[in-house]
Amino acid sequence: MSNPKVKVTMENGGEYTIELYPEFAPATAANFLKLVNSKFYDGLTFHRVVDNFMAQGGDPDGTGCGGSAETIMGEFASNGFTQNKLSHSRGVISMARSMNKNSASSQFFICYGDCSFLDGDYAAFGKVIEGMEVVDGFCGVERTFNSMGEYAEPKEPLRIKEMIEIK
Strands (E), the chain: 5-10, 15-20, 45-50, 54-57, 92-95, 108-111, 124-130, 143-145, 151-154, 158-166
pLDDT beyond 80 at 148:
yes
pLDDT beyond 80 at 149:
yes
Q: pLDDT confidence of 167, banded at 50, 70, 90?
A: confident
CB atoms within 10 A of CB 114: 13
| pLDDT, tens only, 40-52 | 999 999 999 999 9
pLDDT beyond 80 at 1:
no
3-state secondary structure of 139: helix
CB atoms within 10 A of CB 139: 14
| Average confidence (pLDDT) over 12-41 | 98
Q: What is the mean pLDDT of the chain?
A: 97
Strand-pair partners of 166: 5
**Domain of 156: which CATH number?**
2.40.100.10
pLDDT of residue 34: 98
Q: Which of 57, 61, 65 is nearest to 32 (CA)?
A: 57
CB atoms within 10 A of CB 88: 22
| pLDDT, tens only, 55-101 | 999 999 999 999 999 999 999 999 999 999 999 999 999 999 999 99
- Please give the tally of structural domains in the chain: 1
Quote the domain boundaries for residue 12: 5-166
| Average confidence (pLDDT) over 115-121 | 98
**What's the distance, CA 58 to chain centroid?**
7
| pLDDT, tens only, 126-142 | 999 999 999 999 999 99
How is residue 90 annotated by DSSP? T
